[in-house]
Structure formats: structure tokens, C-alpha cells
Structure 1
Amino acid sequence: MMQTRKPPTMADIARVTGVSPMTVSRAFKGESLISPETRNAILNAAEELGYVFDATASNLRSQKTDFVAVTIPSINNANFADTVRGLSETLAPRGLQILLGYTNYDVVEEERLIEQLLRRKPQAIVVTGGKHTPRGRRLLENANIPVIETWDAPPDPIGYYVGFSNADAVKGMVDHFVAVGYRRIAFIGGDASRDTRGSDRRHGFINAMRAHDLDASRLISAGVPPISMREGAQAMARLLTEFPDTEAVICVSDLSAFGALTECQRRGIQIPDDIAIGGFGDYEIGGICVPMLTTINARSHEIGTEAGKLLLDISDGKPRPPHVTIQPELIVRESTR
């Protein structure tokens, strides 16, 4: 009868490497007290022995997990994917993984996900945006773990945030448009009740236009977020019908801006000679279409990286400011003057 071999233990690794079982345990948990040389020796010994670290048992003992919960509005949005990538790349060397929730731009769905994710006892939770349902906010406030709001600079943050003012970012584009001579400027966006960041961009447009003493009523709704290229084209068609003398349009995203651009091309409207178009997000398509789109680079990867650094510093007990402000960049290309 074949005998089952006893699996290697931490004690076996400790004996091989000449350290204590506690040091072995700390090495697998990624604790900063262990030197890189010692950690490498322990991991190499584990590889030779065929040892597999039992994270579940360790978590039960320590009441800590090895993942960070994250909510994003869309799983097919390149900007949010870049943010998650930056976060994951920063946390992975410490053995922390991402547990992802998808809200579909719905704060009620976000509330449900927050509750579900918190039941799994994550080490921290990273949410997109600074506006939540009252219950969702209470859940985050009472979570007793680090909470980081991203892609926003909320006036009343729950704990930490890594982001920027979407309103101010669009204000910068309006200011540029006005500086180069545009006056009759429109805005294409989605349902303001669902996309809070899109709503902030819309408010930023309105306030900036009023600050320049210009008409801010050229507002076209493109539907329920996320706004597609097709919906951007349809919104541009409505804009050209309702406000045919429009000189420039700012779109809530590069995807909607690309759709607006193609609608103009179908109608033989020259960009930017007849009408200028600006987007938001610095998507890849905006840099290769003809003409290339003027846009705002929100530094999405940097948001994720800085959120990860913030979480690691919190975990290590390092003092640092609770808020990280990202500076979006206006990129002027061929679709505007």
C-alpha cells in the first residue's frame, strides 16, 4: 500500500535555513521586519522542499487577510483598468491581491458590493469616487480598515483619497478654449444622477462658462453611463440640430468625443475649422484618430500606484498626509486650435 508523504512544514524550512519558525511565518506574510536576504533564503528553501503556505489558516489566527477590496464603475474602461493595474503592481510585492467589484456607475450597487466585500475582512478597501449612498458611507466609516476614495477630491472624505477635482479639470479645458477664441461652447455628458464624476465635469463646465460670462446652456445628455462612441455620435447629431452655431464641444470622455468626431466627418463638417472637439481620459483611440483629440490625461495609472503606496505606508505605520492630489494634464491636439 502506497504511503502518503507528510507535507513539509514551517519547522522544516526553519531547520534548513537556520531561523525560527516565526521568522519563516513573517517572511511568507511579507512583513517588512524580515531582510530581503533572509526572505529569499526562506522562499528558496520552501521551493526546494515543495512547501505551500497555508494563508487561510494564518488569516484565521491573525484575523487578517491578504487582499484589498476595490470597486470600479466599469470593467471595460481603460482608465479604471490602468488604476487597478497600478494598484496591483504596487501591492503584489507585499503579497497583497485585489478583490474586484463592479458597480456599473450605480451607487446602490456600490453599497451592496461594499457590504459583501467587507464581510470578507479585507485589509483595506479602495472605492472609486467620493459620493456614496448614506448607508454605503456608514459601512465604510465603520469598517475599521483603511478606506481610500479615488478619482475624486471629496470635500468630506471618509478617510484617505487619491484623486483630483473633475470640475477643476474641465474648467481648465474651458479656460483654454476661451483663451484661443471659442465662445459658443457645448458639453456632451451622460446621466448626471449616475455618473458622479461626469456630473462634476458638467458642473465644472457650467461654472467655468459662467465665470467667463458665457452661455452655459448648450448641454446634451448622451444617455446612461458609460457613454459609448455610438451614443457620442448620436449626442453630436442632436447638438448640431439644437445648436447649429456651436463653435466647440467638450465631451465627458474620449469615447464619446470620438463618436462626436465621426458624426461630424459623416456630415462633412471640418474639425477644428467648423467645430472643435475635446474629450477626457487620454484614451489610446484619441491619440491615433484623425484628427487626434484634445483631451485631459487624468493620470489613471498614477492614481492606482499612489493608492497602493498610501496603503503600504499605512500598514507600515509611516506618517504621511491622508490625501494625495493628482494633477490632470490638458493635452492639446489637432481637434482644437
Structure 2
Amino acid sequence: MNSVTRIPRPHPASMPPRTETRDRAAVTPTDRSHPAPRRVRMEEVARVAGVSPATVSRALKSPETVSERLRARVQEAAARLGYAPNRIAGSLAGARTPLVGVIVPSLTNSFFAATLDRMTTILEAEGYQLLIGQHAYDAAREERIATAFCSWNPSALVITGRDHTRGTVGLLSAAPCPVVEMWDHDDRPLDTGIGFSNREAGRLAGRYFAEQGFDKVAYVGAILGQDARARARSQGFAEQVRHLAGQDPLIADAKSRELGEGAAALRQILQRQPDTRAIAFSGDMLAVGAMFEAARMGLRIPQDLAILGYGDLDIAAHTNPPLSTIRPPHDEIGAAVARHILHRLAVPEAQSENVDLGVRLIRRLSA
């Protein structure tokens, strides 16, 4: 199910503190168009920091030339205002580059690779180039990348998820270009949001297990402490199992998304809960690793143990038996983000959007 809500972009001062991804909520459409935000000027940073613009310039471009105390004052003011120096201001003052900055957690994750590939195909055909950064699920690193990208005066900025540091929120809220938060959906994006509810994806898995009558179930999530999206899916799964089956599922945290971690997770689950009947995983590769391990242990799938993945990677349809999984709209996100950006650049008065592309359960023989 796809839904689109058009919303005005909120002023930075009205933004609430970022919290974990929330449940899907109805948002009333509005007729107001999206006003382009104004770039924060160096003079404003200087006024807040109580120094001259020249000192701000030195503190940010040559920090070794000012005292540590002064540098900290300037950096704090810059972060509070969402200021990023314009690297091309000398020759192209105010001009946008044909760059679209895209920040993802990982370049090895095939989900994001598919999204980037689709975006590249559409945007390059219109003369734009992707500037790609990865932060390895490190929020502080994400902020540093966002700061660097803003300084190149991009035509648009795309960032993965809705959970950011306060500094990143300030930068994106003040960016004088379209900003898209992708791969998550909740009721209040900074500008435009295009994605789906990870919590709802987890609920879908929990609901399916409950409908199948599995009485002992578990969820394996990769790096739940760092990956807010995997964590939201595990929470949605637990909520639905608790609500429909009246039990608390076993939740296990895998160290990575690799095959070997799936095997290790299966052993851990069966050691902690020997009568486990069904396991959902936060990624297909974890699920496939568990299937390999189950075969080594003499367990039949799905007769002895049902396995459900997430991602619908190419391998999912070719395992033995084929892997049941939940399919996020990775290609669709890339296409929707690219087309939204092109529309916003062609029609400056175009509105922001909040788009939920939904997820699908792909039922195969493993569950």
C-alpha cells in the first residue's frame, strides 16, 4: 500500500528532538507550498559567537591559527545555526552545483546499493551526479559527512533514516536545497520523507508467525544497538507477537549481517530456547546462514523450524527450500527519491512530501 502526504517544511526552531522511528500516523494534507530555506551566513555565526567574520573564517578554515577556546566558541555557534562554509563561494557565489549528496550507512549492503543504482540512472540522465558518503552507522560521522556535503552547495541532499544528531538536524533544516530522508517513514520528516515503516515490517513478520500458530518464536537482528531500522523491526515484531500470541519472543543481537553470524545466531537461539519453532531475521543473509546451519544440525525446514528473512535478495528464491522473506521497496525508493528531486528543482514552489511505499511479505517454502 502506497500513501502520500504533502506537508509544509517546518521551521528549524519548531523541530522536536529526534526520537526513534515512530508508528505510521495520519497527517492532514496542506495546500501551503514549500519555501526554500535561507543559507546561514558567516556574519550570523560571527554575531552569535561574538567575534568578527574574519575570525570565524580562520577558526573554521585554519583552526590552528586561533586559540582552542575561540575555536570552540565559533564551532558551537556554527553547529547551533546549521552553518556550513561554501567551498565554491569565491567563483560561483550562490550557484548550485549539479551534485546530489547522498548519505547511506553502508555501501556493501545490497539494499542501499539497489537504491543508489536506481537514483544514479535517473539523475545522471538529467545531468546530475551523485556525491556518496557512508557513515557505518556512526551518527557523528554522518554529521561530518553532511557538513562536508553542504559546503559544496549541492542541488539536493539525501540522507538515510530519520534519526540524526542535533547538529545534523540543524544543517539539514538550514540547507537551501531539497532534503530527502529515505528508507524510513514517520509523521514528521525534516523536509521530504520517502520510505516505509520498519516497525510495520516487523509487525508483519510477527503477525504472520502468529497466524501460522507458532508458539515459540524468536527474532535475530544485526547490530541492534547501532542500526535504528533493524531495531525498529525487532520492536514491531515483539509488539505483534505479544499482542496476538500473548508471549514475549526471544530477541537475539547478531554482530554483523554475514552468513556466519546467522549460523551462530541459530545456535544461540536453540541453546537459550530449545523448543523454538520459528525465527525471523533482520536480513536475508543471516537467514540463509541459519538455514545452512540447520541442515548441518539435521533440522528440517520448515517442518522442524520455520525461517523468515528480510530484504528479498536474489539468493532468497534459490535456497533449498526457497526463503520466505519481507521485501522492502529498495528500487522503488531510489526511483521515487530521484523523481521527487527533479520535480522540486524544476518547480521551486513544489511541496514537500511524506511518502510511505509499504512492504510486502513474500511467502515461499521456508516458512
TM-score (norm. length: structure 2): 0.73
The count of corresponding residues between Structure 1 and Structure 2 is 279
Instruction: Check if 1:221 corresponds to 2:253.
Output: yes
1:320 Cα shift? Answer: 4.9
Distance 1:155 1:91 in 2: 27
Match of residue 167, structure 1, among 199, 215, 225:
199
Distance 2:143 2:178 in 1: 17
Match of 1:298 in 2: 328
More moved, 283-292 vs 210-219: 210-219
Q: State the SS of the aligned residue for 1:197.
A: helix
Q: Is residue 281–residue 298 contact of structure 1 (8 Å, CA) maintained in 2?
A: yes
Cα offsets for 1:309-337 (capped at 9, x unmatched) = 1101111116455112112111001101x
Match of 2:83 in 1: none
1:103 Cα shift? Answer: 1.1
Match of 1:106 in 2: 138
Instruction: Check if 1:95 corresponds to 2:127.
Output: yes
Q: State the SS of the aligned residue for 1:108.
A: helix
Q: Could you tell me which amino acid in structure 1 is paired with residue 105 of structure 2?
A: P
Which structure has more relative contact order (CA 8 Å, sep 6+)? It is 2
Match of 2:244 in 1: 212
Cα offsets for 1:180-201 (capped at 9, x unmatched) = 2212110001232210100110
Q: Is residue 183–residue 214 contact of structure 1 (8 Å, CA) maintained in 2?
A: no
1:170 Cα shift? Answer: 1.8
Q: State the SS of the aligned residue for 1:63.
A: coil
Residue pairs, 1:6-25, within 5 angstroms: none
Q: Could you tell me which amino acid in structure 2 is paired with residue 195 of structure 1?
A: D
In structure 2, stretches of 5+ residues that fail to align are 1-87
Match of 2:101 in 1: 69
Q: Could you tell me which amino acid in structure 1 is paired with residue 148 of structure 2?
A: Q
Match of 2:75 in 1: none
Match of 2:46 in 1: none
Match of 2:364 in 1: 333
Distance 1:233 1:122 in 2: 43
Match of residue 190, structure 2, among 134, 148, 158:
158
Q: RMSD in angstroms over aligned alpha carbons?
A: 1.8
Match of residue 304, structure 2, among 259, 274, 279:
274
1:302 Cα shift? Answer: 0.7
Cα offsets for 1:92-135 (capped at 9, x unmatched) = 12100100001112212111111111111111110111111121
Q: Could you tell me which amino acid in structure 1 is paired with residue 320 of structure 2?
A: V
Distance 1:101 1:154 in 2: 24
Distance 2:303 2:359 in 1: 27
Distance 1:244 1:126 in 2: 44
Match of 2:8 in 1: none
Match of 2:163 in 1: 131
Q: Could you tell me which amino acid in structure 1 is paired with residue 337 of structure 2?
A: A
Match of 2:68 in 1: none
Distance 1:208 1:323 in 2: 25
TM-score (norm. length: structure 1): 0.79
Q: Identity, % of aligned pairs?
A: 33
Of structures 1 and 2, the larger Rg is shown by 1
Residue pairs, 1:116-265, within 5 angstroms: 116-223=148-255, 226-265=256-295
Distance 1:107 1:278 in 2: 29
Q: State the SS of the aligned residue for 1:335.
A: coil
Distance 2:253 2:93 in 1: 52
